[in-house]
Structure 1
Amino acid sequence: MKKRVVIILTMILLFSAVTVYAGNAIYGYFNGYEKVKVLLNGEQMVSKIPGFIIENTTVLPLKTIAESMGAIVYWDEGKSLVKMIKPNVNMQLTANPVLDNGNYVIYSPFGKIPTNRRSGFNFSVYSEVDNLPNEKLQIKVVLKDPDGKLVEEGETKTFDATNEDSLQYVTPFKNIDFIKTGNYRVEFLLKSEATRGEFLKIGEKLILVK
């Protein structure tokens, strides 16, 4: 009989759900243990080491799940210690952010593109990020279409989080053509030593195009 276990990882990211399906070894075995199918927000998670069941306990690949939720995972081999850091990302889409006494003031925030303004659209992405890991980082913001294809990529910048764990960041996008209908994704990406030199998505904002 199929059993369904829902695990809510509130320590990593509120309202993100990991759903595990198992039963009668229908997904095969891993090193003699029954494998399970893992869905993250409805999408199947793929990892080198699958989830499996041992002694009636479901074991899941922590690093894969954590990074899928925008958390950065550190492994201290000397202490056999796993540390996870989940940066807090607040992104706003605006036509004109204004810097006033060291703080940005957001005018005309939006979340969808009017039909008559889908060509040559100019906007900026204002990002507030805190709880960053204590190391030098590279950051950038990218725009992807409803099919996940890259539309535009903002400038990559280096940020030294050893002195301060928060930042304000504005990325301009010029003359963007929103050709397809659906949800475009604005993604905030971070690269650090812990991400193995690859950019990791730690936040996103949707733009609805009808």
Structure 2
Amino acid sequence: MGKLIGYARVSTRAQDADRQTADLLAAGVRRDDLYTDHGVSGARAARPAFGAALDALHEGDTLVVTTLDRLGRSTANMLELATLLRERKTGMRVLNLGGGDVDTGTPMGSMVFTVMAALAQMEVEIKRERITDSVFKRRAAGRDLGGRRERFTDSQINNARRLIDTGQPATQVARDLGMSRATLYRRMGELDARQWITSQTH
């Protein structure tokens, strides 16, 4: 019987992989066979621990992950992985699918893995679409003030002030402009000073 090779990943160093590690150990992975990438995005090709986990796989072994998105962000990446696993005659187990093994060495297992990969990518695309939709709605409501720019017009700063006066959080208004809250208040102060000088010279 082959070994279970566990892989865990967290995207930022501020996160910890304790939950993934606990789940993998509970699934039967030995601590010595557990590989973890810290502060590594799934979109990055270079994942040292992931490479080490793949190197540790031998015929009959099984790669175990807690969720499919620990493996990558695109269908293409995951299908490449499926091909690699099939060539090495190794299996895969995703714990969030009820602990069922996905045998990438069989046509049915390959199809299941393909569907899983497509669904994982679809989830990423849905999240991206939600973010885009949120930005669009903020812009349509006059709350997105044009994004990051090197220079901002007086109109934009005045618009930001109006949003704050109507109860919008200053931090969010500043973020929409692409600046810090402190910078926004400084720009507002500079605008007030310019307008006061203008009023005194007319």
TM over 0.5: no
Give 1 or 2: higher strand fraction: 1
Largest Rg, 1 or 2: 2
TM-score w.r.t. structure 1 length?
A: 0.22
Give 1 or 2: higher helix fraction: 2
TM-score w.r.t. structure 2 length?
A: 0.23
Q: Which has the higher contact order (CA 8 A, sep 6+)?
A: 1
